[in-house]
Chains A and B, each alone.
Chain A
Amino acid sequence: MKRRQLLQGAAASAALGPWVHTLAQDRYAKYKGQTIVVNYPAHPHYDQAEKLFAEFTAETGIKVERDKMQYLRMKDKQVLEMGKRGNGDYDVAVYVVMWKTEYVKKDLLEPLDGYFSNKALADPTWDQKDIIGKYWETNALVGGPKMYLPGPGARPYGIPFGAETGVLAYRTDILEKHKIAVPKTYNELLAACRVIKDKEGIGGLTSRGQTGHQVTAAWLLHLTPNGGEVFDSNWRAAFNNAQGVRAAEILKEIVDTGPAGIPSYGFGEMQNAFLQGQAAMYLDSVAIMGPVQDPAKSRIAGKVAYAVHPKGTQHSAQSGGFAMAIPKNARNKDAAFLFMQWMTSKQADLKIAMSGGNINRWSTLDNADVGKKYALELPALRESLKIANPDWRPLIPEWDHISQQIIGQALPDVITGRKPAKQALDAAVKAAEDAVRQGGWLKS
């Protein structure tokens, strides 16, 4: 019975083949000749994605104008553009997951369910279930519990693209030289850092540390694995409790045993320190995997292996990255959607992954060629995806402000040794609670 259905299906699609292909062409036909403007960050994943723009234009006739920016400055520009009356400049805006709730709260983005169910636009082979679940939950959905978590009320406002989780990368040669086992717990990690700093003379673990968003992100990495949280279930500050303080102290220890200059490190400097051999380990986004193998960027190709984010009292890895969205005031929304759908399709995702970008889909993860190219990286990536935690930071609309101006201003004193962690975090409680009170979360 099954076999006959299979054969029937195969025959049908063979017959339909050219017609299905024509349908695809029809999807784009209406928009041929239009130009869309895409605002995206200067980030390794998008450096690879860019290379496919010409192919997209060749296949669909839709031209792509680029506006590439530094990712932390994107938000100012995007909010300015998307807040304009009349049409804004951008048809596709790439957001960092941290901004998703703020954008939706300010009603700047188009909800995407309408586009996915629009038969004239939607690609039947696109397959939303194939997009890695944790990425879909973290990057795409807004409107669920706490506004940022999956669940009742959540709708997609963006398509994950350049999504990522966290991984531990380490120099096999250095760990072997000093007989250090691959760290599985935080105690092991910190001990390894000590040994590497003392005996090898280079940094143990590289880390972000720049004032503002970066130092907060670095601290958050160690918060949930050690059982901490930023706010408790009543939205009172919990970041200054024992676990929050422990995470800050862990960060300080990492800075003390790390490469010089961490307090000024953004993502790029952190990554560079590892790639140029100034630190033996790296614990952050999986975006490192492509550049490690690139001889133009890295001195350590071939000497790196990967493991899962170490455990404190539990396993919890970061989840986040970027997603593409359509501003409410975009001029060419349909063409924008077609672009987003095409760039995140199975074929495109595979091509991007093969050239060093992030993997967004299970099918890409399971692909044989990808498996060969990233034989070393994929096992760790799969394990990390299992422990990726969409709730590793509270992505409420007020989060960006809290992360940059409140916690991000308190932590620098801790990592430069000017204030003890407990004191610095206690001092930030009032401002943080004021922010969540203003946002309507904390009722007091």
Chain B
Amino acid sequence: MSKPETVPRGSPLHYLMLTLLATSCLLPLVIMTMTSLKTEAQIFDSQWSWLFAPTLDNYRSVVQDNHIERYMLNSLKVSLAATLITLMLGTMCAYAMARFRFLGREPLSYSTLILRTLPPAVLAVPVFVIWSAWGIGDTLSGVVLVYVALNLPFTIWLLYGFIDQLPIELEEAAAIDGCGPFKVFYKIVLPLLKPGLAAAAIFTFRLAWNEFILSFILTNRITRTLPASISNYITDTGVEWGKIMAAGVLIALPPLIFTFVAAKQIITGLTAGAVKG
């Protein structure tokens, strides 16, 4: 493997390829943003123009007429809660799986690996029925519960991989020093897990923030989350493209920010286990 100091400059062809790829990744997103800044007349113009006078009317409209700030707040609450709870429960569970031998360890491990891939469509009807029966049908808590349940298998498995990589000597040393098991977990393991926690947090937040189908079924007009509110702009007079793209930009912003801030963690999360397994 090349040493970091001697990372060479690539050939022009190499960079051309990279640029083409990057453009094709970015272009649709750029177009979405452009459309959110256009007026209805500009959108329906039969000529395409890259240059136009941008307007913030669509954003103004979705805030004033459609109360988008309410949906954004709901999405934020749900995503943060789901991420925190998933991390807490998932880390503890992954630690137990990695460091202890207990009854049911194998079945639990295999279950999390299979449940990782559960299609949300399978959950849609039963969760609606059951959540209504339990009285959490239109609540944010109900949405958080199903998001945590959906995210736990992947999070557990991801963190399991990270914990497994940690040298057990550190924990053994701490135990000899007299630390109880919980203290070992809290003071030794958790700090070392930061990259894994970051990756897990990003994935959980992304799933909770982006998810549409379950939140569409499980929320009403007060608890509706941002993606579920998209359908407000698909009206009888066609799709209100300007407004719906504005909402789309708002939905896309947090994941975009995450990506730029923490791309490395995301890639680590994706490839963990796949390469080493």
Contact = CB atoms under 8 A, between A and B. Distances in A.
Q: Do chains A and B touch in the complex (CB under 8 A)?
A: yes
Interface of A: 37, 41-44, 65, 67-71, 73, 80-81, 84, 89, 266-269, 271-272, 276, 291, 296-297
Contacts of A73: 231, 234
B239 A84 contact: no
Closest 5 pairs (CB-CB, A-B): A268-B238, A42-B235, A67-B221, A43-B236, A70-B234
A67 B217 CA distance: 15
B132 A268 contact: no
B55 interface: no
A37 B221 CA distance: 10
Given A70-B231, A80-B128, A89-B221, A267 B236 contact: yes
A89 B232 contact: no
A42 B128 contact: no
Nearest to A85: B132
B232 A69 contact: yes
A276 B128 contact: no
B236 A70 contact: yes
A285 to B, nearest CB: 10
B171 interface: no
B47 interface: no
Contact of B40 (A42, A71, A266, A296): A296
Contact of A81 (B44, B220, B232, B237): B220
Nearest to A291: B237
Nearest to A285: B236
B136 to A, nearest CB: 13
A404 B221 CA distance: 26
Contacts of B132: 84
A269 B241 CA distance: 12
A376 B256 CA distance: 52
Nearest to A88: B220
B5 to A, nearest CB: 56
A268 B239 contact: yes
B236 A42 contact: yes
B128 A272 contact: no
8 contacts: A43-B236, A67-B221, A69-B232, A84-B132, A89-B221, A266-B236, A269-B238, A297-B40
Contacts of A297: 40, 237
Contacts of B238: 266, 268-269, 271-272
Contacts of A67: 220-221
B242 to A, nearest CB: 12
Contacts of A70: 231-232, 234-236
Nearest to A39: B221
Nearest to B67: A66
Interface in B217-241: 217, 220-221, 231-232, 234-239
Given A80-B128, A84-B137, A89-B138, A43 B235 contact: yes
Nearest to A46: B236
Given A37-B221, A268-B236, A269-B238, 14 more contacts: A42-B234, A42-B235, A44-B236, A70-B232, A70-B235, A80-B217, A84-B132, A84-B137, A267-B237, A268-B235, A268-B237, A268-B239, A271-B237, A297-B40
Nearest to A41: B236
Contacts of A269: 238
